[in-house]
Amino acid sequence: MIQFARRYAICAVIFALVAACTVIMTGFNTNANADEAAPTFQDVASSIFGQAVGPDDSGEVYVFGLTAKYTGPDEVMPGEGKFKNIFYFLPVTAMYYDPAHYYVSTQKVEGEFKPEECILCHSIQTPRIVVDWKASKHSKGGKTSDMSEEQVVGCDACHGNNHQELVMPDHGVCGQCHKQQRADHITGGLGSHAHAWHIEVNEFAWQIGKPGEEVASCAQCHGIVSNRCDGCHTRHQFKQSEARKPETCGVCHMGVDHAEYEFYYNSYHGKILMMEGDTWDWDQKMTPKNYRVPTCAYCHMGEEGNHNTQAVSTVYNHMGMFQVDKGAPRYKAKRDAWIKRCQGCHSPRFAAEQLSAADEQIHISFTKWREAVNIIVGLYLEGLLDPMPADLAPDWTGGHTLCLLPGGSPRFYNVSDIERMAIEMIVYQVTAVYKAAFHFAIDDVSYNAGAFPMDRKLIEIKSEASKLRRISTLEKEVGIEHKAYDFWKHGEYTDLLTGWKRKEGDVLPKSECRHGDHPCFDEPEH
Ligand code: HEC
Ligand code: HEC
Ligand code: HEC
Ligand code: HEC
Ligand code: HEC
Ligand code: HEC
Ligand code: HEC
Ligand code: HEC
């Protein structure tokens, strides 16, 4: 009976929703630049549902959210680098993920304290942190080669003594006692942990084209791994044994755009680890004597524990979105280094053949991608995309670029359907072929993530292209001149894109960029 009543209520709501949409479609102007007095979507929804229009941060429950007004974050912090005027961070993102630049100490507790006093108070204030710290090597006392004398590394060693001037430690603080690890960590090139924040977030369209609250997650993954050391040695235990396990990398190296974690676990390496890993002694160095199969850290950091994870691997190719033959003779030294990594457990011939098979699987995946782009660029040149870039909201550059071509601003929204399909093809599927092949995830190369899903995408792209062309032929035949609908340019969400807010002079000189010798990203041409 209750279930029936519930279903009935849901039907009623859906019915009202359809009615509302009909009214809205006919009577409501979606153009944000239109007459201020025109009723908003919320006003119309309110007149149908009887629920008052109100701010979305009031605590009110809004039925399907239809009469709520977007209020935005209460407080934001400025962006960084030469594009800092175009985007912003949420306070939590900036303060804890780039603490050296943004953290502001809490002011509630006054005084300077000795390490024992920190422990005393925090045993009550944050008991679990104290338990974790006590389990760490830091609490036992010791000396690294960078320290002058043995000491217990207490709360104050990382956070400071003055409770109104607390520090959230970034890698600079850890580096005082662990110089080598920090030096490795910051030596990676483009695409490395070292640049995850200062190039890929602060200068990248996916972050700066959207409102800060929508892309706070970018700065979390990228900030933790770039600016801090507890991405792989979680606080406050800071264990090597933990960092050697794939799970630690898997927090970030997962998901549709970089599924190394999933691929690893779909390989024999991952399966054997699942079966036996709990019986291994993870405090041991990563050598073939100590481990039966390799983990992420084993392959990418090696026996020497190199904290530049690119040291063995990278012929940098933007996550696999750019094409390069990593087995080409000019990269022989790197390839040989890889074969050596495998050699503790496999024959060099087996390893070399496996890696060169991966190269071939990648080559063929790009033929499909080029076939797709060829079709889309053809439509673009003939003005047949619906919408064309000029019919969209401005991208973050303030202009209108085709997102697929070099010089365009890559993006997931504010594009035509067919461009979005192509973005998925390159960001999700081309990269999946690469990552699955090099991590020996047999099914993911073909059926599950790579080649065959890519087939479907190519068909979808062709099918959409075919429709666009046929409609255009019909329109020409009957003499209709189609103008793209305004909803491509405007809408409650679309109007929040940073392209709309972009002002003259917002981009600062290159000297504002903070990433050493690496070249700054330039703005694409409009
Ligand atoms: C008198 C009790 C007391 C002592 C002593 C004390 N703390 Fe705290 N600490 C607190 C309280 C309470 C909070 C939470 C304050 C807040 O939320 O603003 C806190 C918060 C913190 C935070 C988190 C700040 C943030 O922004 O998230 C850190 C880090 C910290 N303390 C470190 C220390 C260190 C290091 C010492 C010793 C030098 C120390 N505390 C000594 C009571 C104390
Ligand atoms: C080896 C360095 C180190 C030591 C020692 C250390 N911390 Fe931390 N602590 C960190 C790091 C790293 C973070 C995360 C920084 C960030 O979020 O930017 C952190 C964050 C915190 C936070 C705020 C984040 C949260 O999870 O609430 C508190 C509170 C804190 N530490 C308390 C303590 C206390 C209490 C001690 C002593 C028992 C201590 N820390 C010892 C490195 C340390
Ligand atoms: C004041 C010096 C000091 C600072 C600052 C410091 N450490 Fe340590 N660290 C040590 C000492 C001492 C040891 C123990 C060395 C030993 O026993 O060989 C250690 C050990 C470690 C280990 C090895 C633990 C294991 O399982 O073997 C890791 C990982 C580590 N620190 C990470 C960090 C990180 C991350 C930070 C910053 C958040 C940091 N340390 C800050 C002094 C420091
Ligand atoms: C907190 C998130 C996070 C963790 C944990 C993490 N990474 Fe990364 N990693 C990243 C990000 C983000 C990038 C991309 C940086 C960029 O593009 O500038 C990256 C880049 C890399 C690269 C270079 C990619 C390239 O294209 O050159 C390698 C290799 C890598 N990580 C391996 C690892 C391994 C192995 C682990 C675990 C031992 C690990 N990472 C843990 C976030 C993380
Ligand atoms: C990508 C993951 C990752 C990040 C980020 C990371 N570590 Fe490590 N760290 C590891 C792994 C894995 C080991 C174990 C290496 C081995 O087996 O030799 C390790 C080992 C260590 C050790 C012990 C070295 C020894 O030989 O006793 C220290 C100290 C350390 N890390 C400090 C740091 C510091 C400082 C930072 C930040 C600059 C950092 N780590 C960031 C993965 C990471
Ligand atoms: C058997 C060794 C092995 C293991 C285990 C392994 N990888 Fe890899 N990984 C490779 C090889 C080989 C490549 C291709 C490297 C090349 O030639 O650029 C690669 C590429 C990568 C890349 C792209 C780097 C680049 O240079 O473009 C990332 C990121 C990555 N792996 C992360 C991980 C993560 C995270 C794990 C664990 C979940 C992992 N890998 C496990 C061997 C391994
Ligand atoms: C779950 C953690 C995570 C989140 C969330 C995340 N990234 Fe990444 N990002 C990564 C990892 C891991 C890599 C490296 C993958 C590789 O090299 O294979 C990466 C790579 C990149 C790259 C490098 C691409 C290239 O050309 O080399 C850019 C740019 C980037 N991310 C931007 C962003 C932006 C902007 C966001 C938010 C919209 C975001 N990321 C969200 C983990 C994350
Ligand atoms: C620490 C040991 C170890 C290392 C290092 C290692 N592997 Fe493996 N690998 C294994 C074991 C054990 C198996 C499971 C063997 C089986 O299937 O009978 C395996 C399985 C495989 C398989 C699937 C089995 C098959 O016959 O197709 C491939 C492919 C593979 N490894 C490639 C590599 C490559 C390439 C490298 C280096 C980049 C590498 N492995 C590094 C231990 C290792």
**pLDDT tens profile 310-320:** 998 789 999 99
Nearest Cα residue to atom 14 of ligand 6 = 438
pLDDT of residue 525: 62
Interatomic CA distance for residues 257 and 221, integer angstroms: 13
Q: Which of 178, 158, 176 has its CA nearest to residue 167? A: 158
Instruction: Choose one of 187, 252, 269 to mutate for the ligand 4 pocket test, by most ligand atoms within 8 angstroms of C-beta.
Output: 252
Least confident of 108-122, 146-160, 507-521: 507-521
Q: Are 169 and 95 in contact (CB under 8 A)?
A: no
pLDDT of residue 135: 97
Residue-wise pLDDT tens digits, 362-381: 999 999 999 999 999 999 99
- Tell me how far the alpha carbon of residue 306 lies from the centroid of ligand 7, in angstroms: 22
Q: Are 316 and 338 in contact (CB under 8 A)?
A: no
pLDDT class for 514, splitting at 50, 70, 90? confident
Nearest Cα residue to atom 6 of ligand 7 = 218
**The token pair that represents 303 in the structure block:** 């026996």
Residue-wise pLDDT tens digits, 415-464: 999 999 999 999 999 999 999 999 999 999 999 999 999 999 999 999 99
Interatomic CA distance for residues 356 and 437, integer angstroms: 10
Q: Does residue 33 register a pLDDT over 60?
A: no
Ligand 6 in reach of 314 Cβ (< 6 A): yes
Q: What is the mean pLDDT of residues 388-396?
A: 96
pLDDT of residue 185: 96
Ligand 2 in reach of 132 Cβ (< 6 A): no
Q: Does residue 321 register a pLDDT over 60?
A: yes
pLDDT class for 236, splitting at 50, 70, 90? very high
pLDDT of residue 419: 97
- Tell me how far the alpha carbon of residue 367 lies from the centroid of ligand 4, in angstroms: 28
- Using alpha carbons only, give the angle 402, 404, 408 rounded to the nearest 5 degrees: 55
pLDDT of residue 408: 86
**The token pair that represents 270 in the structure block:** 């991952």
Bigger pLDDT: 388 or 397? 388
pLDDT of residue 35: 52
Q: What is the mean pLDDT of residues 86-115?
A: 96
What own/partner pairs with CB < 8 Å and gap ≥ 24 does 8-17 have?
Answer: 13/63, 13/64, 16/48, 16/49, 17/64, 17/66
Could you say which ligand is closest to the alpha carbon of residue 345? 8
Interatomic CA distance for residues 305 and 284, integer angstroms: 12
pLDDT class for 337, splitting at 50, 70, 90? very high
The CA-atom distances, in angstroms, between 401 and each of 252, 458, 493, 523, 525 are 30, 23, 20, 11, 8
Interatomic CA distance for residues 439 and 270, integer angstroms: 10
pLDDT of residue 275: 98
Ligand 1 in reach of 96 Cβ (< 6 A): no
**The token pair that represents 261 in the structure block:** 């974690």
The CA-atom distances, in angstroms, between 359 and each of 294, 330, 335, 354, 362 are 21, 14, 11, 9, 5
Ligand 1 in reach of 109 Cβ (< 6 A): yes
Q: What is the mean pLDDT of residues 468-497?
A: 97
Expressed in angstroms, the distance from the first to the final Cα of the chain is: 61
Residue-wise pLDDT tens digits, 345-363: 999 999 999 999 999 999 9
- Tell me how far the alpha carbon of residue 341 lies from the centroid of ligand 8, in angstroms: 11
Nearest Cα residue to atom 6 of ligand 8 = 342
Nearest Cα residue to atom 12 of ligand 6 = 438
Q: Which of 452, 478, 460, 454 has its CA nearest to residue 416? A: 460
Least confident of 13-17, 55-59, 213-217: 13-17
Query: On the CB side of 64, how many CA atoms lie within 13 Å of its CA?
Result: 11
Q: What is the mean pLDDT of residues 190-214?
A: 92
Distance of CA 318 to the CA centre of its chain: 13
List ligand 7's pocket residues with C-beta within 6 A.
191, 200-201, 204, 206-207, 215, 217-218, 221-222, 252-253, 255, 258, 318-319
Q: What is the mean pLDDT of residues 167-188?
A: 96
- Using alpha carbons only, give the angle 345, 346, 350 rounded to the nearest 5 degrees: 165
Question: Would you state the torsion angle of the CA atoms of residues 430, 432, 435, 438, taken in this order, to the nearest 10 degrees?
Answer: -80
Maximum Cα interatomic distance, the chain, rounded to a whole number of Å: 87
Interatomic CA distance for residues 423 and 485, integer angstroms: 23
The total of other beta-carbon atoms located within 10 Å of residue 12's CB is 10
Instruction: Choose one of 439, 442, 445 to mutate for the ligand 6 pocket test, by most ligand atoms within 8 angstroms of C-beta.
Output: 439
Q: Are 307 and 181 in contact (CB under 8 A)?
A: yes
Nearest Cα residue to atom 27 of ligand 5 = 240
- Those residues whose C-beta lies under 8 Å from the C-beta of residue 129, and which sit 6 or more positions away, are 122, 235, 236
Percent of the chain, pLDDT > 70?
Answer: 93
Residue-wise pLDDT tens digits, 5-31: 444 444 444 444 544 444 444 444 444
- Tell me how far the alpha carbon of residue 183 lies from the centroid of ligand 2, in angstroms: 22
**The token pair that represents 227 in the structure block:** 């600016």
Q: Are 98 and 223 in contact (CB under 8 A)?
A: yes
List ligand 8's pocket residues with C-beta within 6 A.
268-269, 272, 288, 291-294, 299, 338, 341-342, 344-346, 351, 354-355, 440
- Tell me how far the alpha carbon of residue 285 lies from the centroid of ligand 3, in angstroms: 17
Instruction: Choose one of 89, 222, 260 to mutate for the ligand 7 pocket test, by most ligand atoms within 8 angstroms of C-beta.
Output: 222
Percent of the chain, pLDDT > 90?
Answer: 84
Question: Would you state the torsion angle of the CA atoms of residues 215, 218, 223, 224, taken in this order, to the nearest 10 degrees?
Answer: 120
Place of tokens 């600016």: 227
Ligand 2 in reach of 151 Cβ (< 6 A): no
Q: Does residue 65 register a pLDDT over 80?
A: yes
pLDDT of residue 58: 97
Instruction: Choose one of 86, 207, 258 to mutate for the ligand 7 pocket test, by most ligand atoms within 8 angstroms of C-beta.
Output: 258
Interatomic CA distance for residues 323 and 478, integer angstroms: 44
**The token pair that represents 432 in the structure block:** 């999946």
Interatomic CA distance for residues 134 and 452, integer angstroms: 51
**The token pair that represents 92 in the structure block:** 């939590």
Distance of CA 513 to the CA centre of its chain: 20
Interatomic CA distance for residues 60 and 74, integer angstroms: 17
pLDDT class for 404, splitting at 50, 70, 90? confident
